[in-house]
Chains A and B, each alone.
Chain A
Amino acid sequence: MEKYSVYILFMLLTAIGCNQGSAPRTGGALGGDAASATYVAPGQYDEFYAFLSGGFSGQLSVYGLPSGRLLKVIPVFSQDAEKGYGYNEETKPMLNTSFGFIPWDDAHHPELSQTNGETDGRWIFINGNNTPRIARIDLSSFETAEIIEIPNSGGNHSSPFTTQNTEYVVAGTRFGVPYPQKDVSINSYAENFKGMLSFIKVDEEGHMNIAFQVLLPAFDYDLAHSGKGKSDGWTFFTTYNTEQSHTLMEVNASQNDKDFIAAVNWKKAEEYIAQGKGREIPASHYVNRYDEKSHIATSTEVKTVKVLTPQDCPGLVYFLPTPKSPHGVDVDPTGEYIVGNGKLSADLTVHSFTKMLKAIEDQAFETTIEGVPVLKYESVVGGVVIKPGLGPLHTEFDNEGNAHTTFFISSEVVKWKVGTWEVLDRAPTYYSVGHLMIPGGDSRKPQGKYMVALNKITKDRYLPTGPEMNHSAQLYDISGDKMKLLLDFPTIGEPHYGQGISADRIVSRSKKFYPIEENEHPYKTLGEKSAKVERSGKTVHVYMTSIRSHFAPDNIEGIQVGDDVYIHLTNLEQDFDVPHGLAIQGARNAELLVMPGQTETLHWIPQREGVFAFYCTDFCSALHQEMQGYLRVSPSGSNTPVKWSLGEDEHM
């Protein structure tokens, strides 16, 4: 008997062994190895959060790594009907600008807040490129908490890129624009156009205000990164179009052998501001803040900014010549090396911060442009990575002294050693990688382990979905000598930059619901007994509550065609993950999606007489389908009395 059981056990083990042996055949060329490296078992958590910009979706997507699972899409610069963002009365002000309400933007570069150069999980910032703005997302609620508009700017691309204690986020104009903005001939570019760099102060609560702007020549300020460690106090901006052309840019802006990296000494700028060197000029812009207690965003106009000009402020800005239209500018974790990714250059140029300071001290200037000294190339260059690939765009760093640079044209990531400049490894991407992301890879303390390539072209990577394909991203294991491709996943919109952070820096601060006793909304309803309907003239306010599984009131009469009806829905729930939605037939609006303890307002102008149903849109409970009600709409001027009820009791 015992002999048989040993035999059976042997058979079983063999069978399991065979199974394992044949697994790679279905796993493709990568085999089960990559699959297990990205497998996060059901119910288990990912090790990292990845925040990938939504590009032309205007939003910010949140993924888990290494699984590549989409966790959330946070609405930032675009209206989002799914969450009612930018549709409900409370969040409409978030999208207000000096141009009025703008329902969309192009979101490029997420940047986590930092403390002492390390990602701290408090907030993440992201720039709006089209109508220049910066948003701050609170990582305890994963909601957009603030959006500030940047005046005197066109195309906010070199943004937001924080300083090492999140003293500032920055915004550099990608397009030269008339300064001040005015009606002039485009041909007068050289004479009338300028390029403005903005430094936005972030206070302890995360509130943003433009501290100062720096007036520079009308180059195109492409990307930025702030110094860290020894270079803390400086921010670096790449430029292209130092030719100052305004037409057929692909040719005319690619003529100069070298463009510049602008190095701005922001600590010096603070001194100049303190000395009163900042000229206050009219520059209307809006600051929109969402209050988590009232659940309401307010939009405030700020009318001026302070501008510093290099002519008045010696030592404020220097130009570092950098070959061929540098795109990304990336500072290594020590703060010593500043990588200029010259996208049309055969080589990769790395400047030395120490040499830069020496060159400034020695006044090793080639020339001066509009008050900005141009340092001699030879006196600032710290090293060159020779012919690493074609079309370098961006560099991120790991925790072992290596750099990883993307090459758009040759569609690859190249790993090289900081200091020796030798190429260590290269890995293809699918296809034409733009930015890349290593968790903490632009901070003083990269967390390493994984790298995500954010690609611009998808082609045949996934099942075809018509002419438009979502952009692809690839996850690589970078813990060994060789980069190892693990996973390939589609993304939202166009992922430009990304940020990664170990989950433990965020999980513990994540809110589960809003305490109802802290609700300060002026139209809150704290219990069903307080639910009511109030008419004043043509305006009707409905104070409504939701709790599993009914609205209070759920029968409302006395509304008239053409009324301005504001339905203020307070979700009375106090439990994790119990939102209630609200939708009304014929409302030319989106739904509401109200979190527990929150109040949100749907504006509805009834157009027709009749009785219209409303219902909960988020499957909340076993009786979700019964969570519905009726609104009676009478002709304008009728004498149907205002009435509301729930169950048998009228006027609850």
Chain B
Amino acid sequence: MRNHWPRLLLIVAGLLLLPLFIFPMWRITLLAPQYPDGVHMHIHVDKIGGKSPGTLQNVNILNHYIGMKPIEPDTIPELKYFPYFVIGFTILALVFGMIDRKFLYYLWLILFSIALVLAVYDFYLWEYDYGHNLNPNAPMKFEDESFQPPLFGSKVLLNFVAKSFPHIGGYFVIASWICAASALYLKSKKSATS
């Protein structure tokens, strides 16, 4: 009897990417005493928002004191083409799962891993840009200081503690990767034994 597990897992891996259209993948939280609830900025695959509708505006208000340019989702091209990548990977997972050939499992996982690394690098570049390209006419200037938020983890930025961690969508991505890797592992084992 044919083992369906690998193809099922790969298809699941593809489908696990779809919640990215509902849940944010990443969260940057700013904490300070006068913000008892914190400021929670949510990065989605296609937009930037937050825990409350005013979050982005509130983040930009804070940032303008130090001359950080406003975060304007319309000017970030990634938010426009990332959704196509997500859908693309989902479709590829479905098609590859149907075909069920070992090299396709390799291909999907490698492409997906490359995409993830590039996405994280891209995120770092944006953070670097926001943190370093400060308006010289900013009301508050701090010599030799950058305000680049952490890529992952926690960092003190003036009166704030900034935290950067995956959000629900991000965990779905991780789950997707694990599914795809498991699919590949099972497929390889099966090929070896058969």
Contacts and interface: CB of A to CB of B under 8 A. Distances in A.
B57 A574 contact: yes
B77 interface: no
A623 B52 contact: no
Contacts of B136: none
A635 interface: no
Contact of A547 (B37, B61, B65, B139): B61
Interface string A498-517: 00000000000000010101
B139 A574 contact: no
B58 A622 contact: no
Contact of A548 (B37, B53, B61): B61
A622 B61 contact: no
A127 B37 CA distance: 38
Contacts, number: 27
A623 B54 contact: no
B65 A574 contact: no
Interface in B12-60: 37, 52-54, 57-58
Interface residues of B, number: 10
Nearest to B56: A574
Interface in A550-583: 572-576
A598 to B, nearest CB: 14
Interface residues of A, number: 15
B139 A623 contact: yes
A622 B66 CA distance: 12
Contacts of B58: 574-575
B186 to A, nearest CB: 50
A573 B65 contact: no
B65 A622 contact: yes
Contacts of B37: 576
Contact of B53 (A547, A574, A623): A574
Nearest to A597: B54
B65 A623 contact: yes
A573 B139 contact: no
A510 to B, nearest CB: 14
Interface in A617-638: 621-623, 626
Contacts of A626: 139
A421 to B, nearest CB: 51
A279 B53 CA distance: 53
Contact of B54 (A548, A574, A621, A622): A574
A575 B58 CA distance: 7
A622 B139 CA distance: 10
Contact of A575 (B54, B65, B139, B140): B54
Contacts of B65: 622-623
B159 to A, nearest CB: 10
A621 B57 CA distance: 15
Contacts of B61: 547-548, 573, 621
Interface in A590-632: 596, 621-623, 626
Contacts of B54: 513, 573-575, 596
Contacts of B52: 574
Contacts of A547: 57, 61
B95 to A, nearest CB: 42
A573 B55 CA distance: 10
B109 to A, nearest CB: 43
A310 B28 CA distance: 70
Nearest to B159: A622
A515 B53 contact: yes
Contacts of B53: 515, 517, 574
Interface in A534-558: 547-548
Contacts of A513: 54
B53 to A, nearest CB: 6
Interface in B49-94: 52-54, 57-58, 61, 65
Interface in B100-156: 139-140
A461 B53 CA distance: 49
Contacts of A575: 54, 57-58
Contacts of A576: 37
A513 B61 CA distance: 17
A621 B61 CA distance: 10
Contacts of B140: 622
Interface in A320-373: none
13 contacts: A515-B53, A517-B53, A548-B61, A572-B57, A573-B54, A574-B52, A574-B53, A574-B58, A575-B54, A575-B58, A621-B61, A622-B140, A623-B139
When A and B form their complex, which 3 residue pairs have the shortest distance between CB atoms, in order from nearest?
Answer: A574-B54, A548-B61, A575-B58
Interface of A: 513, 515, 517, 547-548, 572-576, 596, 621-623, 626
Given A513-B54, A574-B58, A622-B65, 5 more contacts: A572-B57, A573-B61, A574-B53, A622-B140, A623-B139
